[in-house]
Amino acid sequence: MQPCPVTLAQKASRDHADGWSVGAYRGRVPAPPETDIGKIRKYCRTRVPARIRHQVRVEAAVRGSSVTIFDCRPPWHPNLTEWSKTRVAQLRYSATTQRWSLYWADRNGRWHRYSDLDPGPVDKLLNEIEADPTCIFWG
């Protein structure tokens, strides 16, 4: 009996101990620094006070060299069990420049480069998402 094949999504979400992750479309890509991933996850945790996390959460999902931030809401109908997720922002890491780029999602779910900020350290991008001067991330 042969083992089950691994889907592209499973490959893309798998991080390896050697500092590389498997990308769905480009093969192996360098994984973003764990310290930066930690900063993004901390930003998400502290964005919503603990007392209302049963009503709203902010979460981050790592896939290859990108991290997507989601605004999550509980099921609005009794027949639903999954929380809904709305894309807020995506941060993409470049191993060659060691910089992050910021992207926003349009109504069709396509990502576009946020042109008001040059690539830079993750703190700079998180500050821009929080400030949201164009109201493109949080509305």
Q: What is the pLDDT of residue 19?
A: 52
Q: Which two tokens stand for residue 108?
A: 């069709």
With vertex at residue 66, the alpha carbon angle to CA 63 and CA 100, rounded to the nearest 5 degrees, is 160
pLDDT of res. 4: 40
Tell me what the pLDDT averaged over the chain comes to.
85
**Neighbouring-strand partners of residue 67:** 62, 91
8 pLDDT higher than 50:
no
